[in-house]
């Protein structure tokens, strides 16, 4: 399994894109979160790997997007994706809706956020709906239910954050990749992510996020298979014995 890191920043970054990733799946790609400007985010991350690794992926090619939660640094790109894929269908270049995977709590609040910009379409006699743009797939966030996405097995677990948020475990049947989602430190969530062969954890300022001190206290075997994203600009985790990721990093899980 290969995972391309798209963004590593937090909500206030001046240097990065919102923390997000693209998983190469047996049947396409699974994108975890959707920051803005998503077209540029994908272009810049994949451009580093066009030749050797065969990565040349744009919004056109990503049929599965998983939203962990509705903070803007994780979901602001959804509007652009929805409009662009609608244009492609209107032009006859595509015929299918992209699939949007999220919990019921996220889906129920997503359209009120998007509707002021997206509820009117030329040629449509009724107000547009979220389902005009995306094929909605509901995630069960109990940490156990298995969802088949692009040939992968995906589980989601509710985290401790300001608003409904999940972390995910993604498996291709041989290897498992974990993504913490935004979360305060929670030992139970760490234990759940420990099922992965490799996982990415967020780190930022309390009270809504996990601190570097808390992650530094984890056992060495956990830290060896963990990398960080969502750090504030110019925060260096190396004095804590921790390692962070960069945009465009390609992980072989």
Question: CA nearest 47: which of 84, 14, 105, 6?
Answer: 6
Q: Count CB-CB contacts under 10 A for residue 113.
A: 15
Q: What is the mean pLDDT of the chain?
A: 96
The Cα angle at residue 148 between residues 147 and 149, in degrees rounded to 5: 110
How confident is the model over 193-235, as pLDDT tens digits? 999 999 999 999 999 999 999 999 999 999 999 999 999 999 9
Q: Please give the radius of gyration of the chain, using alpha carbons only, rounded to the nearest integer.
A: 18
**Angle between helix 78-90 and 38-47 (nearest 10):** 90
How confident is the model over 26-72, as pLDDT tens digits? 999 999 999 999 999 999 999 888 766 668 899 999 999 999 999 99
The single-letter DSSP state of residue 174 is S
How confident is the model over 117-144, as pLDDT tens digits? 999 998 889 999 999 999 999 999 999 9
Structure tokens at 49: 């790997």
Gap between the Cα atoms of 55 and 193, Å rounded = 27
Cross-strand pairs, 3: 23, 251
What is the longest distance spanned by two Cα atoms in the chain?
60
pTM of the full predicted structure?
Answer: 0.96
Question: CA nearest 40: which of 63, 19, 17?
Answer: 17
Q: Which domains does the chain have, with CATH numbers?
A: 2-252 (3.60.15.10)
């Amino acid at each position: 399994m290969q995972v391309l890191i798209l963004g590593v920043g937090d909500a206030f970054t001046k240097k990065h894109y919102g923390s997000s990733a693209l998983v190469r799946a047996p049947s396409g790609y699974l994108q975890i979160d959707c920051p803005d400007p998503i077209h540029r985010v994908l272009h810049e991350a994949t451009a580093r790997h066009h030749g050797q690794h065969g990565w040349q992926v744009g919004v056109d090619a990503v049929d599965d997007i998983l939203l962990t939660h509705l903070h803007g640094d994780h979901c602001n790109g959804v509007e652009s994706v929805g409009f662009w894929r609608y244009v492609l269908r209107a032009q006859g270049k595509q015929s299918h809706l992209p699939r949007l995977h999220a919990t019921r709590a996220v889906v129920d609040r997503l359209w009120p956020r998007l509707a002021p910009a997206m509820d009117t379409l030329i040629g449509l006699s009724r107000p547009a709906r979220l389902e005009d743009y995306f094929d909605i797939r509901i995630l069960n966030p109990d940490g156990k239910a298995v969802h088949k996405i692009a040939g992968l097995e995906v589980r989601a677990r509710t985290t401790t954050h300001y608003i409904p948020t999940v972390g995910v475990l993604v498996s291709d049947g041989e290897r498992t990749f974990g993504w913490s989602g935004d979360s305060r430190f929670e030992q139970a969530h760490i234990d759940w992510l420990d099922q992965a062969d490799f996982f990415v954890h967020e780190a930022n300022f309390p009270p809504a996020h996990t601190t570097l001190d808390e992650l530094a206290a984890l056992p060495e075997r956990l830290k060896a298979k963990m990398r960080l994203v969502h750090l504030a600009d110019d925060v260096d985790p190396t004095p804590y014995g921790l390692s962070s990721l960069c945009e465009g990093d390609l992980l072989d899980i």
